[in-house]
Each structure stands twice: as structure tokens, then as C-alpha cells.
Structure 1
Amino acid sequence: MTAPVVLVPGLGLGPESYAPTLRHLEVGYQVITLPGYGEKAGSADDLHTETLAARLADQLDRPAVLVGHSAACQIVVEATLRRPGAVKALVLISPSGDLTASSWRTLAGRWARSALWDPPRLIPTLAKQYHRTGFGSMARAMEVARQYDLAAAAAKLTVPTVVVRSAHDRLAPALWTQQVADRTGGEAWTLPTGSHLPVLTNGRELAAFIQRAAGVYKTP
């Protein structure tokens, strides 16, 4: 039996960020946006990871595969800790959350080195999504996300977990993603192409991992 898939966009991104992946999915899915993650945050919105995770968990009405990208990985992990019975498996794509590299200066440098590998064709869609979410919302969400200890949270997980990154991703380097996978007792994979936005550049490959987690395929 396959499980439905619930996907949460990365910080600043919207539902369309998953379009290249969704084209290849052969299982039911839902994309859920949250303040800072596809939605503009209101002044009264609490953007703490735990609060956003509670909002996500409240929308899970049956066991699902949760998929998060970048800082959204923290939200899906926290949601799983809150409602483990509602989560069949996790797919963490390019996860952030390394407290040893969480200063604004370090994050900005890693982002710049990652962005060098992104094709220029992504600029229009990124600009549209970032504008919709709002740079103020993104900054507030990032300030909270960079203080969340993903490695510590991952060690508490009890569901099958797959961590996927791309070869040129400096925000989610190989040693970090392996550490996260090791904490979960899960798997870490590096795609041979792409950077921090594999949701936009490596959709077919990500879909294969998601479908395997959902019970569609037995191999990646």
C-alpha cells in the first residue's frame, strides 16, 4: 500500500518549487505552505519551528510521507516528533539546521557559493516566489530557523528517513547531511548534479526517492 505525500516548500519558495518533482510522482500528494514558506507572514504570526510544525501536524489526517526542502526540513522533522503516528517516512532535501554553521555571515557565504551553480533560467521563478512570500517574512523565518538544532531533533526520530542533497550544495554539505542521516539511522544520498535547489533542477531523481519512501518503488 502506498502512502500519500505531503510536501512543504523551502524558505521563501512556493508550491511551484515542487513542480519539476510532482510531474514524476505516481502517488497522491499535497503541498502545504506556511508563513515564510510560501506564504507572507503577518506581523502576529509566530514563525518558530515548533509553532509551524504544529500547524503542519494539525493538517495530517492520515499517515503520510513528509517531504521538506532546506529550512522546511526542520518543520517536517518537528512535526514528525509531535505526531509520529501520522508520518510513514521522511524525505529531507538539502536540509539546513547545522548550528556550527548558522551565523548570518556563514550562511550568506555558503548561499553565494551554492548559487553560482544554479542555472540563470531559475531567476524569474525564484524572484516571483520570493516576492510573494516577502523578504521580511523570509528574514524573520530564517532568524528562527538558524537557531533550530536539526541534528539533535533527528536523533529522536523513529520513522524511516532519507536525506538527499546535490553535489554543489554548500548550504547542505555532504558531511552534514550524512550526520543527519546517521542520527536518524537512515540514508544519505548525493545527486551528481545541482546545488541547493534540486527541487527545481533534479525533479525526476527526487520523485524516485519520494516514491520509494511512499512504497511505490523498492530501489532509488
Structure 2
Amino acid sequence: MSAPVVLVPGLGLGPESYARTVEHLATPYHVVTLPGYGEPAGAREDLHPQALAVALADKIRDRAVLVGHSASCQIVVEAAVRYPELAHALVLVAPTGDARMSSWVDRAVRWLGSAVPDSPKLIRTVTPQYVRTTLPAIARAGEAARHHDLADVISRVKVPVLIVRGRHDLLSTAEWAERLAELSRGEARTLETGAHMPIATNGPELAALIERAAALPSDS
């Protein structure tokens, strides 16, 4: 029997960001939103990935494949390290968290370069999600994620890890994906198309990879 799937939206995004992926999933799934990641945040809420990992764990009912996108990959990895009993496997889609790419200017340039190959139609899809999460929450969560070193944490994950990125993604580079795969003893996969939004642009391919992770034996 396949494990269930828990999907966490990327920074500022909501459940609908996964629409083109989940429509191809046969495995039961649940999308979990968090402050800064689909939900607005209170002024005093801690938006660091470590704190949000605790909030994520509180919303997971069963051992599951944990799927993160972009900055939420940092939350998913923290949750798998802190609560290994909740993680069947990890699928990290376009993960950020490279401490060597820490300046806002560098990230902005790379984000714009990655956005160009993606369909302009995505603008109409993501804008309402950003509005719902609110720009202050997105900025605070993004700043917290910017100082989180994913490479320093991922080596402590004990379950199978798959890193997936689009060929034109400048934020989550092939070098970064391979580094994470090596540190986690996992696998890196670069899709032939897409950039930083494979969850929307490569739904069937990504769903198939998630299904594969869900079908892994529980003692892997």
C-alpha cells in the first residue's frame, strides 16, 4: 500500500499552486498551508523553517511522503529530521536554501531569470495566492528562509530523498540539486522542461515521481 502524501506550498503560495500536480495523483494527499506559505502571519509568529516544521508536524496525521516546493523544502527537511516517524520519504521540488546564494539581489535576479521560461499564465494564478498570504508575511518568511542552510540539515534525514528541478531553474541549480542529493544519499532529477514552478508546469511528471516515492517500502 502506498503512503499518503503531504504537500506544503512554496513561499507565498497556497493549495492551488499544486493543482496541476494533484490532479494526476492517485495516492491520497493533503495540502498543508503555514504562515508565510499560504497563510498570513501574526506579527509575533516565528517564521523560521525550524519553527514552521513544528507547526507542520502538528498537522500531519500519518507517516507520509513530505513534498516541499522552493523555500518550503527547508521546512519539510526540518520536519523530517525532528520527527522522523512522520516521514516516509521526501520529494523536494526546486529547493532553495543554498547559503552561498544569500543576497536578495542575487536571488531576485535568479528568480526573474527563472520566471521567464514559465508560462505568463502563471501570473494570474499566483497573484491571488500572494495577496492572500500578504506581502509582509512573505517578506518575513523569505528573510527567515534566506538564513537557513539546507545543506547543513539535509544530511541528517534518514528516509529516501528525491530532488526535482526544471532545466531552466536558476534559483535551484543543477549543482545545488546534486549537492543535496549527495548529502542526503538521495537522487537528483532535472526535468527536460520548466523552471522554478514544476508543480504547475510539469504536473504529470512530478505526480509520477511522487507516486514512486509513495510506493517505496516503509523500511527503506
The TM-score with structure 1 as length reference comes to 0.97
| Inter-partner Cα distance in structure 2 for 1:48 and 1:188 | 26
Quote the residue 2:52 is aligned against: 52
| Inter-partner Cα distance in structure 2 for 1:118 and 1:207 | 18
TM superposition shift of 1:60: 2.0
| Inter-partner Cα distance in structure 2 for 1:39 and 1:73 | 17
Q: How does 1:1-220 map to 2 (within 5 A)?
A: 1-215=1-215
TM superposition shift of 1:116: 1.1
Q: Judge conservation of contact 1:49–1:75 (CA < 8 Å) in 2.
A: yes
| Inter-partner Cα distance in structure 2 for 1:44 and 1:152 | 26
Q: Which amino acid aligns with 2:13?
A: L
Structure 2 unaligned blocks of 5 or more: none
**Per the alignment, in what secondary structure is the counterpart of residue 99 of structure 1?**
coil
**Per the alignment, in what secondary structure is the counterpart of residue 162 of structure 1?**
strand
**Per the alignment, in what secondary structure is the counterpart of residue 6 of structure 1?**
strand
1:183-203 CA-partner distances (Å, limit 9, x unpaired) = 000000000100101111111
**Per the alignment, in what secondary structure is the counterpart of residue 100 of structure 1?**
coil
Q: Which amino acid aligns with 1:74?
A: Q
Greater Cα offset, 7-16 or 38-47: 38-47
1:15-64 CA-partner distances (Å, limit 9, x unpaired) = 00000000000110000000000001111211011110001112222210
TM superposition shift of 1:85: 1.3
Q: Judge conservation of contact 1:57–1:82 (CA < 8 Å) in 2.
A: no
| Inter-partner Cα distance in structure 1 for 2:141 and 2:22 | 25
| Inter-partner Cα distance in structure 1 for 2:49 and 2:127 | 24
- The total of aligned residue pairs comes to 217
Q: Which amino acid aligns with 1:42?
A: G
- Structure 1 moving runs of 4+ over 2 Å: none
Q: Which amino acid aligns with 2:127?
A: A
| Inter-partner Cα distance in structure 2 for 1:21 and 1:81 | 26
The TM-score with structure 2 as length reference comes to 0.97
1:66-106 CA-partner distances (Å, limit 9, x unpaired) = 00000000000000011101110000000000000111111
**Per the alignment, in what secondary structure is the counterpart of residue 65 of structure 1?**
strand
**Per the alignment, in what secondary structure is the counterpart of residue 156 of structure 1?**
coil
| Inter-partner Cα distance in structure 1 for 2:163 and 2:67 | 10
Q: What percentage of residue pairs aligned between the two structures are identical?
A: 56
**Per the alignment, in what secondary structure is the counterpart of residue 164 of structure 1?**
strand
